[in-house]
Structure 1
C-alpha cells in the first residue's frame, strides 16, 4: 500500500490524544524493561501483564539480577502468566548477557536475535522502543490492522501474506513517510490496532486511517483478516492426588513432582497427576503414584473438579486426597524417582513460595 505523509500525521495526532501512554513499560524505555514487557506480552493480554510487570521488575530490577536468580525463583514470579518456556528462555538469555556482555544489553538486530526466545518481532521492538532505531514490528494488533489496510484476502499466517505485512510495517517507519521517531510510529500503530481496529466490531468511524483502508472500502472488515484452520480440541481426563505426611511437630508435608523438559510446565512443580483412561480414576491414580514414587496410596475423598485447556486439549481434572501417612516424616522414603525428574516433600507453609503450575496452585488453595 502507498502510505502518505498525511496518513502518518493523522495517525500520530490520534496517538497523542488516545494512546496508552500510561502503560508502565512505556515510562522508562530501557532495553531490559522493553524486553521483559515484550516477552510477557507474547500471547498474553495487556491487562494480565499489568499485574505482573512491576512485581517482576521489583524482584529482578536489571538483567544481572535476573541472571543471578535461581530458576525456581524466576518461575515463581512468572506463575500465572502461563507459557512458562518464556520465563526459562528469558532467564537463559539474561545469563548469556551477563556472562558475555557483563550485563550490557546488545544493540544490534543480529546480536539480539541470538538471545534464547527472541525472534524478529521482539528484536525489532527492543531496537525501536529502546534505541529509537528504524526497525519494523509485526504482532497481533498491527497484523490485523495491516491486513485490513491492504484488504488482504489470504490467510495472514501464509508466507505471501507475511511478506506483504512485514513490507507494510517497514513502509510505515520509513523516513519517506515521516521523520517522527520509529518508537512513536510503531507504538501508535499497535495502539490503533488494539483500541480501534479490534478483532470484532472495529470502530471504523473513529479510525484516522479509514480513508486508506481497503477492507472498509470493500465492506469486508468482518472477513479480514483471514485466519487459517481453526484448532480442533480433544477432550482429556486427568486426576491428581494430595499425598501428605505428618512431621514430628505436627505440620503437614505434601508430595510434589517437578515436570521435566519436554513436558507441559517444564521446571514447575505439581501434585502427583496423570491422564485417566478408564472409569476407575482412583485405581489409575494409585498405580501412577506407585510406579512413579514407590508409595502405596489410596485416593479417597474426591475434592473438586477443574476444567482448563492446554494447547489442543480440553482437560477435566479431578482431585483427590489420599489417606495420611502416619509414620514420622523421616521414615516415609520415596523408593524411586521419575526419569530426569524430581520429587520433594514440601511443608504446607512453603507451598506459597513454590513455583506450581496454574492448576497445581488451584489445588494448593484447597488446603
Structure 2
C-alpha cells in the first residue's frame, strides 16, 4: 500500500469553467433519435472479495442495497448500492433511473481464498482508477464516526496540508474520498452527522491525454465540463464532468464550498502533465490483471438509438448491443481504454425485467 501523497491531491487553484461546447444541445440537434440531456451517469463497478463485508461498509456510509442481480450459472452476483433516504437525490427511483450508484461485483469463492486480493488502482501494476467520493454534511463528525466504527483511513482529515478532504478505505482497500457540503470551519464544532443527506458525488479515473478525454466525454458521451481545478505547481489538473439534468450547470458558491459537492453522478478526470507526450505511457483499465475497478455506466433514453449515435461518432466498441447473449447492455471504450457500459433507463422505456 502506497502512502497518501498530499501533493498529488492538492487543489491549489479552483476554476469554474462551463463546457466549451454545449454537448447535449449539439448532440440532440444533430442526432435527435437519442437525447443526451436525458442520459445519467448511473454507476461505477468495483470487484470485491467479500460481499458481506463490502455491503456492510457502504451501508454504514448510509447507502442502501437497492438491487441485487444473481447469476449462479456464471458464478457471480451484482450488488447495487445508492443513497435512498427521503433526503437523497433520487428516493425510491428505479436503479437505472439514478446517478451515484455503486455496483459491487462478487465472483463466487473469492471470499474464502486467502490469496485473493483486488487492485485498488492507486499503485503499479494496475494504476488507473483512483477512488469514489461521498460528500457529507459535517465532515469532521462524519470522519469521526467512520473511525470510531473501526474502519481505516488512507488519509485522515488532519493529515497533510489538505484539511478539507479525507480518504477512508473500504474492505478491499478502495479509496473513498470524503468531502464536505458545508464550509469546514463552520462544521468543526458539530458532533452529529446525518447520512441521509450524503451524496455519492464522483468517481475518479486517471487519463493520459486531457484534450482527447475531454473531447470524448463531452462530444461523444454528451457530458458537460462543470468544474476545473488547475494545479500547475504540482503538475496536474482535475476535470469534473457530468450530466446537468434539472439542476443545470452549477455556479461558484459564495462560501467557497465546492459548487458540485451537493451532486451525484460526476466523473473526475485526473491528468498529470506530460503523460500525453510519452508514447509508451498507459493506464490500467482494471479489467486485465490485476483486476479491481471494472467500468462506469451511463443509462440512456433509448438504448438502440444511443448505440446508433455512438456508431456515428465512430466509437471503439468493447461489446456491441448485438454481441453475445446479453442483448440489453453495450460497452464502449474511452481514449484510455476504460470500459463504459450503456444500459436502458427503464423509467423512460421499459425493455428489461431488472
Normalised TM-score (structure 2)? 0.25
The answer to which structure has the higher strand fraction is: 2
- The structure, 1 or 2, with the larger RCO (C-alpha pairs under 8 Å, 6+ apart) is 2
Normalised TM-score (structure 1)? 0.25
- For the pair shown, which has the larger CA radius of gyration, 1 or 2? 1
